[in-house]
């Protein structure tokens, strides 16, 4: 039997014959139980599996144990660095708990969202994770929810949602921390570049920004709504610079917006941080490699991912809400010297 033929046609019986064991023992090794197998016997079975290129039938194994160990992950889009870092952290967390992820991108299309959710359920996922997708917006609209019978969790949501578990960062606290840091540098006119969010969700970043300004006795600075992108941040910064009383500091609602703002400031001949300080929200790798490196409040990607997968891995877990603090990562764009990571409190 050639290696190609073996990979295509090897069966459990072939493995058992080559290893000199029963098919039941092969099953115990492949499924890690339910009965123990001696170390030497396990080694012979694994050697036979490698030699024959045997691949267990995943569907058959799932039927036998009553579990697919699959989680569906529905994301609004993939190219945003925030989503990429979340997906990477979720993949690592899922692997640690013996799960695999099936990824589906809605591309911000509600019709595509419904089709993808149905497809993931048909594939046998045991739970659904929504990243920057907010299915609660459609509740009460009379639209069927194909995944209503499986555990569901919204990641990157800072508030409880009925019928869903939720995991998120304290976005209001993170925004407040970022704004306080700019105030500590002596800024009194601090602008906010805000991303578009539907009213049912709201933007806790704005809440934190406003809270910090009020606590310092400052008037609310200018606010511009822009797309969650570099282009959106650049356009927003140009709008702010064109005003009669431009800000001396900008708090941007995402790293991408902040990077776009840096470009617009550079084109306008404004130095960062000497003329205009900039602080970002998210703290992805993008923020570290901008020019100058961005001070940012960082999302706790690994901790949120672990909590997300734990919610599905815990038997009998019920929907709940978990919130994590954000970390202020201090770099040069705010006016601080050096590039030391630090928490504000």
Q: Check whether 62 has a pLDDT greater than 70.
A: no
Structure-token match 């939720």, residue found? 166
Q: Average pLDDT for residues 187-192, to the nearest whole number?
A: 97
Q: Check whether 200 has a pLDDT greater than 60.
A: no
Residue % of the chain over a pLDDT of 70: 85
Mean of the per-residue pLDDT values of the chain: 86
Position 201 scores a pLDDT of 61
Render pLDDT for 87-115 as a digit per residue (tens, 0 to 9).
Answer: 999 999 999 988 999 999 988 887 788 88
Q: Average pLDDT for residues 336-343, to the nearest whole number?
A: 56
Q: Average pLDDT for residues 258-278, to the nearest whole number?
A: 97
d(CA 9, CA 54) in angstroms, rounded, equals 8
Position 177 scores a pLDDT of 97
Q: What is the longest distance spanned by two Cα atoms in the chain?
A: 85
Strand order in the sheet with 165-169: 100-105, 70-75, 128-131, 152-155, 165-169, 321-324
pTM, rounded to two decimals? 0.78
Among 164, 112, 111, 104, smallest CA distance to 134 is for: 164
Q: Average pLDDT for residues 316-335, to the nearest whole number?
A: 88
d(CA 73, CA 117) in angstroms, rounded, equals 9
Q: Check whether 207 has a pLDDT greater than 80.
A: yes
| Higher per-residue pLDDT: 337 or 293 | 293
User: Would you say 216 and 241 are in contact if contact means Cβ atoms under 8 Å apart?
Assistant: no
Here the tokens at position 20 are: 């000199």
Position 326 scores a pLDDT of 97
Residue % of the chain over a pLDDT of 90: 56
Structure-token match 């100058």, residue found? 292
Q: Check whether 301 has a pLDDT greater than 90.
A: yes
Q: Average pLDDT for residues 22-47, to the nearest whole number?
A: 83
Q: How confident is the model at residue 242 (pLDDT cuts 50, 70, 90)?
A: very high
Position 2 scores a pLDDT of 47
Q: Check whether 340 has a pLDDT greater than 60.
A: no
**3-state class of 106 per DSSP?**
coil
| Higher per-residue pLDDT: 7 or 84 | 84
| Higher per-residue pLDDT: 176 or 23 | 176
Domains, the chain, in order of start with CATH, read 3-64 (1.10.260.40), 67-169+302-324 (3.40.50.2300), 171-299 (3.40.50.2300)
Q: How confident is the model at residue 332 (pLDDT cuts 50, 70, 90)?
A: very high
């Amino acid at each position: 039997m050639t290696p190609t033929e073996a990979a295509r046609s090897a069966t459990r019986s072939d493995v058992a014959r080559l290893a000199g064991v029963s098919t039941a023992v092969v099953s115990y090794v492949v499924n890690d139980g339910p009965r123990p197998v001696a170390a030497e016997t396990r080694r012979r079975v694994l050697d036979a599996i490698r030699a024959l290129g045997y691949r267990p039938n995943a569907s058959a194994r799932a039927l036998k144990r009553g579990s697919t160990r699959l989680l569906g992950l529905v994301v609004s889009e993939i190219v945003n660095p925030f989503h990429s870092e979340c997906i990477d952290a979720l993949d690592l967390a899922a692997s640690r708990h013996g799960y695999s992820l099936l990824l589906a991108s809605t591309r911000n299309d509600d019709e595509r969202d419904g089709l993808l959710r149905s497809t993931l359920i048909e594939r046998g996922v045991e739970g659904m994770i929504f990243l920057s997708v907010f299915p609660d917006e459609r509740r009460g609209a009379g639209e069927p929810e194909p995944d209503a019978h499986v555990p569901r969790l919204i990641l990157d949501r800072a508030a409880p949602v009925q019928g869903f578990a939720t995991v998120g960062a304290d976005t209001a606290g993170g925004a407040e921390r970022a704004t306080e840091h700019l105030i500590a540098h002596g800024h009194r006119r601090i602008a906010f570049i805000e991303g578009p969010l539907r009213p049912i969700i709201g933007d806790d970043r704005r809440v934190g920004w406003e809270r910090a300004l009020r606590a310092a006795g400052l008037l609310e600075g200018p606010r511009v709504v822009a797309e969650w992108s570099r282009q959106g941040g650049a356009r927003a910064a140009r709008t702010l610079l064109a005003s009669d009383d431009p800000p001396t500091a900008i708090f941007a609602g995402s790293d991408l917006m902040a990077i776009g703002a840096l470009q617009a400031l550079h084109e306008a001949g404004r130095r960062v941080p000497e003329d205009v300080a900039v602080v970002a929200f998210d703290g992805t790798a993008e923020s570290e490699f901008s020019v100058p490196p961005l001070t940012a409040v960082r999302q706790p990607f690994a901790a949120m991912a672990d909590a997300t997968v734990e919610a599905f891995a815990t038997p009998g877990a019920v929907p709940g809400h978990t919130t994590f603090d954000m970390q202020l990562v201090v770099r040069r764009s705010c006016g601080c010297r050096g590039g030391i990571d630090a928490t504000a409190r």
